[in-house]
Amino acid sequence: MKLVLLSLFCAVLGLLNAWPENPQRRRPWWNQLPRTIGARSVVESSSRIVGGVAVNITEFPYQISLSSASGSHMCGGSIIGSRWILTAGHCAFSSEKPLQQVRIGSTDRTSGGKVLRLDRVVQHPQYDSYAIDYDFALLELKQDLLFDESNQAVELPRQDEELADGSLCRVSGWGNTQNVQESSRYLRAADVPSVNQEQCATAYESFGGITERMLCAGYKEGGKDACQGDSGGPLVSGGKLVGVVSWGLGCAQPNYPGVYSRVASVRSWIEEITGI
Ligand code: ARG
């Protein structure tokens, strides 16, 4: 069921990125041109980070844009070390020669900053595209980053570090719109409180609930949220990367908070792969 949700909300993303870098890969059905997506995609098509404000990369120096070989924005991600980016499992594809690239240090996702190639993509071994469980991937850069005011690593939580309900979190990204040229070109961010795990599980009960690798954030009345194209991007609380944009029912809908991959649940795996 969650796959269906993800499908709906990432369909625009899929459409905009025909994976030209990997013609052998069969386009999954949820990335086909959807005649069946209907009203929902129309309703969401003008959404980006919903209810947020335009921000500068220097305020979010860990934010990166993950793009296809042709350079079109696909997903967000976060710098976690001089050579490593953390993004969502559904944003990255393991391959011997990764062709996706990242843009760092730019508020504008179409130019500026630096575009870097990837050396390696490590999807979480337990990533489950059906349940959207363990929705994480680590991207190793070909070269070390030089940190400056627009490029910085974000701090990570400890393994299983808890996040108190109602903690203020900040989500950022360049979520896609159908008007690609303008509306999602510059970085935006929104503040959302973390939601109690049981409450979120109840909200999503009919969609298979949520796992311990997920956390939710949003207002009961909706209005502020991540949206398609923000996936893989950072949810930061108290200076730590607590979540990775993953999925949700629509965007900014009342009673349906955004669902994020819970970074603290895979902190040891991150260390094992990256040494960070
Ligand atoms: N799966 C979407 C993507 O790939 C992100 C959806 C986030 N949705 C939400 N309501 N927070 O961009």
Query: Amino acid identity of 44?
Result: E
Mean pLDDT value across residues 171-200: 81
pLDDT at position 43: 31
DSSP run (H or E) holding 200 = helix 197-203
Q: Which of 14-28, 57-71, 183-197 has the lowest mean pLDDT?
A: 14-28
pLDDT digits 0-9 by tens, 35-60: 222 222 323 333 458 888 889 999 99
pLDDT digits 0-9 by tens, 221-267: 998 999 999 999 999 999 999 999 999 999 999 999 999 999 999 99
Whole-prediction pTM: 0.85
Write the CB contacts of 162 (distance below 8 Å, at least 6 apart in sequence). 264
244 lines ligand 1 (CB under 6 A): no
Assign 176 a pLDDT band (cuts: 50, 70, 90): low
- CA of 231 from ligand 1 middle (Å) equals 5
Which percentage of the chain shows pLDDT scores above 90?
72
Query: Amino acid identity of 9?
Result: F
Residue 45 is given by DSSP the state: T
- Rounded to 10 degrees, the C-alpha dihedral 233/161/141/54 comes to 30
Catalytic residue numbers, as ranges: 90, 135, 231
Mean pLDDT value across residues 84-100: 89
231 lines ligand 1 (CB under 6 A): yes
Tell me whether residue 21 is exposed, middle or buried, using C-beta atoms within 10 angstroms of its C-beta: 0 to 12, 13 to 18, 19 or more.
Answer: middle
From the list 274, 271, 261, the residue with the least C-alpha distance to 126 is: 261
Q: Which atom of ligand 1 is nearest to the CA of 6?
A: 1
Q: How far is CA 121 from CA 45, 86, 164, 271, in A?
A: 30, 10, 32, 15
pLDDT at position 183: 60
Which percentage of the chain shows pLDDT scores above 70?
80
- CA of 270 from ligand 1 middle (Å) equals 22
68 lines ligand 1 (CB under 6 A): no
65 lines ligand 1 (CB under 6 A): no
Please determine, for residue 161, whether its predicted confidence score (pLDDT) is greater than 60: yes
pLDDT at position 16: 37
What is the residue whose two structure tokens read 């796959």? 3
253, HSE (Cβ side, Cα atoms, 13 Å): 16
Mutate which of 177, 245, 256 to test ligand 1's pocket (most atoms within 8 Å of Cβ)? 245
- Please give the mean pLDDT across all residues of the chain: 84
Please determine, for residue 275, whether its predicted confidence score (pLDDT) is greater than 80: yes
pLDDT at position 127: 98
pLDDT digits 0-9 by tens, 204-217: 999 999 999 999 99
